[in-house]
Amino acid sequence: MAPIVPEEWHQQRGRRGRIRQYPTCNQRGLWRRRERLWPIVVLSLPDLRFWVVRPDKAKGIEKMGYQVLARKWRPRDFRQMVGQGHVLRALSNALDKNTLHHAFLFTGTRGVGKTTLARILAKCLNCEAGVSSTPCGECGACREVDEGRFVDLIEVDAASKAKVDETRDLMDNAQYLPARGRYKVYLIDEVHMFSGHSFNALLKTLEEPPPHVKFLLATTEPKKLPITVLSRCLQFNLKRLPIDEIAGQLEHILESEGIAWEPGAMRLIAVAADGSMRDALSLLEQAIPYCDGKLGISDVRAMLGTVDRTHIRMILKALAAGDGKALMARVAAMAAEVVDFDDALRELLGVLQRIAILQVIPDTPRDPDPDAEEIAALAREMDPEDVQLYYQIGLMGRRDLPLAPDPKSGFEMTVLRMLAFRPAEAGSAIRGEKKANAGNAAPTQRARTPAPQAGAPPSPSAPAPARTAPAPFPASPEAWPRIVAELELGGMARELAGNCTLTECKGDIVRLCIAPAFRQLAGENIRGQLERSLCAYWKKHIRLGIEVATTVDTQTPSAIRQGVEDKRQRAAEQAVGEDPNVRTLCAAFDAKIKKVIVRNHD
């Protein structure tokens, strides 16, 4: 079948009227003639006839070759990179000082710049202006790297080249000098997909490559790489990009493309991207035609399918007020919008986390989110104890959500638990009032527990049990064991008090004596703990002094306690030895009592 050629197309012919074949056309379907690129349209595949569209004859033909944002805005040098400053600094210094390793491993999640960074590094190595961290971008090598046709940049997809024979072929070609550039660069993407035999075939060349070879490896799962490969590479871990940096880059792209947006819309996309710039650009490209002209917050949220923050704020307000009816009405409204209740719980936990931070650090730098004022108001309205309890219940609810009969009922039970439970310090009266509110579903203001003021002594949640009156002050040396037993001490401070004797107690001075064997216990910190405990015991200011004496006149509390325990031990051994059953067993089996252990059940 003969091709149908429009009249305005111009057919290139040879001298004798034959259709000229152009074997030099590149992979992008362009014909180079006098440094001008003309698109080639193949109209007849069997005989490979090419029809060339002349620019002056191409009227009415639609513009082709739309480039997606992720490729159009791919960084061309280190200065255009977003984030990853720790990696850029190390690579820039190594390039400028010409102290480059022969193998680099870039790790990190998807879309953070691993492959882009490797291509920029290959451009820096082969720029005709010289090896530096700032390639010219104008020479033939730089342009060919940007266009993906630099012959000495061998990009390998490990997922499709995982066989050991293919890896051996690559390593066999590594010995040959580069054809175009200064270095032959092997960029192996998703290198963790190599088989074990492929890694073994790579090891020798990776450890001692020819001087003209550089290896750039990229992977999202470095834990799957053999340790023998990791030890031969310089590893750079690329971090997830912060939300603010992603949002700023998206706004810069929209401004350059001449597209309007509402403040806060790009932050929604940045949050959904989860630290990946490529995901953010893909979502942005999806949002541009969806919003049709201006990227509004409501349109972007609808496109992403995220939960409206208004629902989350109203749920928290209903929880703070103890309004069960409003709470269930809000859940029903969310179900009518067919929201993902797992996302709703995640969003609820995120808001609770922000509220908790504001309650602990009120002077937190201003949050750029559009709902920052509402979050601050909730932080002032809700009790810190309730926020912590809600967060924990939300975590458990999200864990158990797959076990619920349906997501809506699981979400309802989670928020009902938040409404039904209160911290133990709130008291039984408040819990009873809250149960009545939940049962009657009436919007009643919930009783709040005021936060303790700074410097105020904490009030006990229940009346403390009555205790005996402390020993009178000044105390006698014989009263010291009783005082030590009644002090609220633990650890090394109790050991210090138990190995001391009271030698002086008058005015505000308490002087103790300790044996040289225990002098290491009388450190400044431990002595301070004992001094504070004595001040609390007598409810007055005490100045404590500890002296080291070679002889101690009276027994220390520890010695007295040890004497009591020894007496109990001897009595127990005597009782066991005189027990008739034990004597019968010893006589029958020719046994002996080896050890008697007395357990203290106090």
> Could you report the per-residue pLDDT of 310-343, keeping only the tens digit for each?
889 899 999 988 889 999 999 999 888 878 899 8
Model pLDDT, residue 31: 40
Instruction: State both tokens at 457.
Output: 């002594």
Model pLDDT, residue 457: 46
DSSP for 236-247 reads: EEPPPPPHHHHH
Segment among 446-455, 525-534, 542-551 with least mean pLDDT: 446-455
Distance in angstroms (rounded) separating the CA atoms of residues 438 and 323: 7
Which of the listed CATH numbers 1.10.8.60, 3.40.640.10, 3.40.50.620, 1.10.10.10 matches domain 243-304?
A: 1.10.8.60
Burial of 416-452, coded b for 16+ CB within 10 Å and e otherwise, reads: bebbbbbbeebeeebeebbeebbeeeeeeebeeeeee
Model pLDDT, residue 445: 46
Distance in angstroms (rounded) separating the CA atoms of residues 200 and 283: 40
Q: Across residues 247-257, what is the average pLDDT?
A: 91
Please provide the size of the chain in residues: 602
- Angle, in degrees to the nearest 10, between helices 372-381 and 341-360: 70
Each residue's pLDDT tens digit, 69-96? 888 899 999 998 998 899 999 999 999 9
Model pLDDT, residue 366: 67
Model pLDDT, residue 394: 94
Distance in angstroms (rounded) separating the CA atoms of residues 211 and 218: 21
**Tokens 């030698």 belong to residue:** 503
Each residue's pLDDT tens digit, 569-585? 889 888 888 888 888 88
- Mean pLDDT of all residues belonging to the chain: 80
CATH classification code of 309-440: 1.20.272.10
CATH classification code of 478-554: 3.30.300.150
Helices (DSSP H) in 382-500: which residue ranges? 384-400, 407-420, 428-440, 480-486, 492-498
Which of the pair, 35 or 360, is modelled with greater confidence? 360
**CA distances, 590 to each of 183, 390, 582, 595 (Å):** 88, 66, 11, 16
Segment among 213-217, 339-343, 387-391, 406-410 with least mean pLDDT: 339-343
**Calculated CA dihedral for residues 415, 416, 417, 421, nearest 10 degrees:** 110
Alpha carbon 53 to its chain's center: 54
Radius of gyration in angstroms for the set of CA atoms belonging to the chain, rounded to a whole number: 39
Segment among 49-63, 207-221, 311-325, 356-370 with least mean pLDDT: 49-63
List, in sequence order, every residue forming a beta bridge with 218; answer none if it has no partner. Answer: 106, 189
Which of the pair, 353 or 443, is modelled with greater confidence? 353
**Tokens 């550089």 belong to residue:** 214
Q: Do domains 70-237 and 243-304 have the same CATH topology?
A: no
Give the number of other Cβ atoms within 10 Å of residue 565's Cβ. 12
Over 50: is that where the pLDDT of 99 sits? yes
**Residue 10: band (very low, low, confident or very high) from pLDDT cuts 50, 70, 90:** very low
Please tell me which of 304-313, 326-335, 355-364, 454-463 the model is most confident about, judged by mean pLDDT. 326-335
Residue 406 near residue 397 (C-beta atoms within 8 A): no
Instruction: State both tokens at 378.
Output: 């909730």
DSSP for 125-143 reads: HH-TT-SSSS--S-SHHHH
Q: Across residues 421-427, what is the average pLDDT?
A: 61
Residue 241 near residue 83 (C-beta atoms within 8 A): yes
Model pLDDT, residue 66: 77
Distance in angstroms (rounded) separating the CA atoms of residues 42 and 40: 6
Model pLDDT, residue 441: 45
Please tell me which of 206-210, 307-311, 424-428, 597-601 the model is most confident about, judged by mean pLDDT. 206-210
Q: Across residues 149-164, what is the average pLDDT?
A: 86
Over 60: is that where the pLDDT of 449 sits? no
For residue 402, the 8-state DSSP code is G
Helices then strands, counting H and E runs in the chain, come out as 23, 13
Each residue's pLDDT tens digit, 257-294? 888 888 888 888 998 888 899 999 999 999 988 888 78
Report the relative pairing of strands 103-107 and 153-157 from DSSP bridges: unpaired
Which of the pair, 1 or 149, is modelled with greater confidence? 149
Report the relative pairing of strands 509-514 and 153-157 from DSSP bridges: unpaired
Model pLDDT, residue 277: 92
The residue ranges of every structural domain in the chain are 1-65, 70-237, 243-304, 309-440, 478-554
**Residue 467: band (very low, low, confident or very high) from pLDDT cuts 50, 70, 90:** low
Residue 482 near residue 471 (C-beta atoms within 8 A): yes
* Amino acid identity, position 324: G
For 70-237, give the CATH class: alpha beta
**Residue 43: band (very low, low, confident or very high) from pLDDT cuts 50, 70, 90:** very low
Which of the pair, 355 or 24, is modelled with greater confidence? 355
**Residue 239: band (very low, low, confident or very high) from pLDDT cuts 50, 70, 90:** very high
Q: What are phi and psi of 313, to 5 degrees?
A: -65, -40
Model pLDDT, residue 215: 93
Over 80: is that where the pLDDT of 236 sits? yes
Model pLDDT, residue 57: 45
